[in-house]
Amino acid sequence: MQKFINHVDHVAWLSRPDTLEANVAHLEKLTGAKLARFDRHDMGFSMCISWEAGLEVVAPMEQRTDFNQWLWSELEKKGEGVTSVVFGVKNLDAHKARLEKLGIPVGPLMDDHVDSPWHDQLVLWERMAGEVMNTNFVLGDIDYADGVIPFGDAERDA
């Protein structure tokens, strides 16, 4: 397993549902990455992601749910754009304890192990750790299966 430690793991943008396809197409054009789409009807959002490139675009579905209400609120307050930066840590519990000792509250554990479409590619644990410059800062203890992240892969740069 591989993981990012003390390094940005991935960046997440928030999109309106009606501009999701255009936003993803533009990001794919700029980067050459291909983002896979996952619709989570149970939680009320669509996600387009490339773990390999560290890129994620999320859009709430039109029908409001308990989960996607936060996404709608973020869109109403901030509009489209970067919503979260996920920072890789070695040990999520140890990092949480360090921040709380400094007086920084850390959110509850977020995991997506049940019904996640990528359960065979990675083990994902995250916690919100506040905001930095109007962007959510998320701690991520994410273990990637070998070969998911193309570290030093010269073919990708060709």
The residue ranges of every structural domain in the chain are 7-152
- Please, what is the average pLDDT of the chain? 90
DSSP reduced 3-state for 71 = helix
Q: Is this prediction's pTM over 0.85?
A: yes
pLDDT at 123: 85
Backbone angles phi, psi at 41, to 5 degrees: -60, -30
The DSSP 8-state label assigned to residue 154 in this structure reads: G
Q: What is the pLDDT of residues 60-69, one digit of tens each?
A: 999 999 889 9
Residue among 155, 121, 128, 157 nearest 2 (CA):
121
Q: Name the token pair of 17.
A: 């549902």
State the pLDDT confidence band at 90, using cuts at 50, 70 and 90.
very high
CATH of 7-152, one of 3.40.50.300, 3.10.180.10, 3.30.460.10, 3.30.70.260: 3.10.180.10
pLDDT at 137: 96
